[in-house]
């Protein structure tokens, strides 16, 4: 899969549910557009990830290489070489891969990715942050044939550095 568009539902650590649409173009590009009333957009352009809050007019920047998104957005990933795989399991419904990463200044993050056991289509992922808080994203209405507009992945660094 090089491109993927669809819908998502995100459940935050506080149990709050938000939804929206997303577009992925590998390697390294994604845009999550949250539905109102959420004021958030998340954009990755291949090197950086920004979280833009339209209501607060704030933008937070992160290197893509320091976020769990890099595993989902990689062109290819060697699970044995590029990650610390904690477990891989399968049943009739899902194949689940759990990756853990410890960074000196940040702590330990865990990423659990679930794929459909029959067609290997991405179904959901859960990120556990260093405080042990989970954020789960489930994806649906997936289309691997649709090509996202490249402008979706453009980060305007000049406007966002106010």
Query: Cα–Cα distance between 115 and 34 in angstroms, integer?
Result: 23
Considering the domain boundaries, does residue 160 fall inside one?
A: no
Say if 19 falls within a structural domain.
Answer: yes
Q: Which residue has the tokens 């992945």?
A: 153
Question: In this structure, is residue 162 part of a structural domain?
Answer: no
Q: State how many domains the chain has.
A: 1
Evaluate whether 75 touches 26 at the Cβ level (below 8 Å): yes
- Rounded Cα gap, residues 155 and 144, in angstroms: 23
pLDDT classification of 160: cutoffs 50, 70, 90 = low
Evaluate whether residue 20 is within a structural domain.
yes
Q: Which residues have a Cβ under 8 Å from the Cβ of 1 and sit 6 or more positions away?
A: 26, 122, 144
Residue 120 lies in a domain: yes
Domain containing residue 148: CATH number: 2.50.20.10
* pLDDT digits 0-9 by tens, 38-71: 999 999 999 999 999 989 989 999 999 888 888 8
Is residue 9 situated within a structural domain?
A: yes
Per-residue tokens: 86: 């904690």
List, for residues 118-141, the tens digit of each pLDDT value. Answer: 999 999 999 998 899 999 999 999
pLDDT digits (tens, 9 = 90+) for 8-48: 999 999 999 999 999 999 999 999 999 999 999 999 999 99
Give a yes or no: residue 161 inside a domain. no
Quick check: pTM over 0.85? Answer: yes
pLDDT tens per residue across span 76-106 = 776 666 668 889 999 999 999 998 887 767 7
Query: Residue 107: which domain range?
Result: 3-155
- Written as one string, the DSSP assignment of 74-128 is -S---HHHHSEEEEEEE-SSEEEEEEEEEETTTEEEEEEEEEETTT--EEEEEEE
């Amino acid at each position: 899969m090089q491109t993927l568009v669809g819908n998502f539902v995100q459940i935050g650590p506080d149990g709050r549910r938000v939804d929206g649409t997303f577009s992925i173009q590998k390697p390294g590009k994604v845009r999550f557009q949250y539905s109102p009333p959420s004021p958030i957009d998340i954009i990755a352009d291949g090197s950086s990830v920004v979280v833009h809050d339209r209501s607060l007019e704030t933008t937070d920047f992160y290197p893509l290489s320091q976020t769990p998104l890099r595993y989902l957005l990689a062109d290819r990933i060697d699970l044995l070489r590029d990650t610390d795989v904690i477990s891989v399991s399968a049943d009739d419904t899902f194949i689940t891969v759990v990756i853990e990463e410890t960074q000196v200044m940040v702590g330990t993050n865990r990423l659990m990715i679930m794929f459909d056991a029959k067609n290997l289509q991405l179904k959901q992922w859960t990120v556990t942050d260093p405080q042990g808080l989970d954020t789960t994203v489930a994806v649906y209405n997936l289309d691997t044939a649709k090509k996202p507009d490249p402008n979706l992945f453009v980060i305007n660094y000049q406007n966002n550095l106010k």
